[in-house]
Chain A
Amino acid sequence: GDSVTQMEGPVTLSEEAFLTINCTYTATGYPSLFWYVQYPGEGLQLLLKATKADDKGSNKGFEATYRKETTSFHLEKGSVQVSDSAVYFCALMRFSSASKIIFGSGTRLSIRP
C-alpha cells in the first residue's frame, strides 16, 4: 500500500543553517505530495504542495521538488530561523484513495538562536 517515509528527528540546527528533511514515498500512479507543519500547541498547516512530477512547491522560504524518478519530496530551506521550530510532516494523497492523506511520522525541528 501507499506509504511515506521521512527522516527521523529530532533535528537540531543553529539559526541561519541550511535545512534538509528527507521524504520518500511509495505509491502507485501519480500522487500529490504535501508538507504540513505543526507549530507547538497548534494544529497542522499546509506548508507547500506539488501535484505532478518536477513541480516545485515553495512557501515561507521552504522548497520541495516532486522527484518521480527517486520517489522523493525533500524539504529544504536555505537559512532557518528560530520561528521554524516545529514538527514537519510529509504526506501524499491519491484521488483514487478517496481523499485519504497518508502521512509520514513527522520530523521535529529545533533551531538554536
Chain B
Amino acid sequence: EAGVTQSPTHLIKTRGQQATLRCSPISGHTSVYWYQQALGLGLQFLLWYDEGEERNRGNFPPRFSGRQFPNYSSELNVNALELEDSALYLCASSLVPTGANQPQHFGDGTRLSIL
C-alpha cells in the first residue's frame, strides 16, 4: 500500500512569490491534514480537509490556504511568501475524521526555502 506522497520534495522561492504544495493521501483516506515544521518551533497544525471541505485551521494568516479535490488529494497554497515561511511542510491523512483511534499517517514532507 502506497503511503502519503508529497510533491515536490524541495521548493525554492523568493519573497513575495506564491508556492503550491501537493499531497496524495493513502488510498481510502478521506481526511488530509497539513502541518508546518519550522526550525525551533516544532510541528504546528495548519489545515484539515475532509470530503472536500476545510474543517479546521490553525493559527496561521489567510495567505495560507488550500483545497481538497474529489479524489481526496490536496494542495497547500502559500501566497506572498515571507522568509519565515521557510520550513518543512508535512501532509498527513487518516481513514475517517475522528480523533481517538484513527492515527494520522504522514508523508515525507516538502522542504520550502525562501530566499
Residues of B within 8 A of A96 (CB): 99
Determine whether the beta carbon of B99 is less than 8 Å from that of A43.
Answer: no
Q: Chain A contact residues (Cβ within 8 angstroms of B): what range?
A: 20 to 34
**From B6, B55, B101, B104, contact of A101 by CB (8 A):** B104
Determine whether the beta carbon of B90 is less than 8 Å from that of A95.
Answer: no
Bitwise interface map of A from 3 to 26 toward B, beta carbon under 8 Å scored 1, else 0: 000000000000000000000000
Q: Chain B contact residues (Cβ within 8 angstroms of A): what range?
A: 20 to 34
Q: Is A42 an interface residue (CB 8 A)?
A: yes
A30-46 interface with B by 8 A CB criterion: 32, 34, 36, 41-46
Determine whether the beta carbon of B106 is less than 8 Å from that of A99.
Answer: no
Determine whether the beta carbon of A36 is less than 8 Å from that of B56.
Answer: no
CB distance from A48 to the nearest CB of B (A): 10
Q: Is B31 an interface residue (CB 8 A)?
A: yes
Residues of B within 8 A of A105 (CB): 42
Tell whether A45 pairs with B106 under 8 Å between CB atoms, given A100-B58, A106-B42. Answer: yes
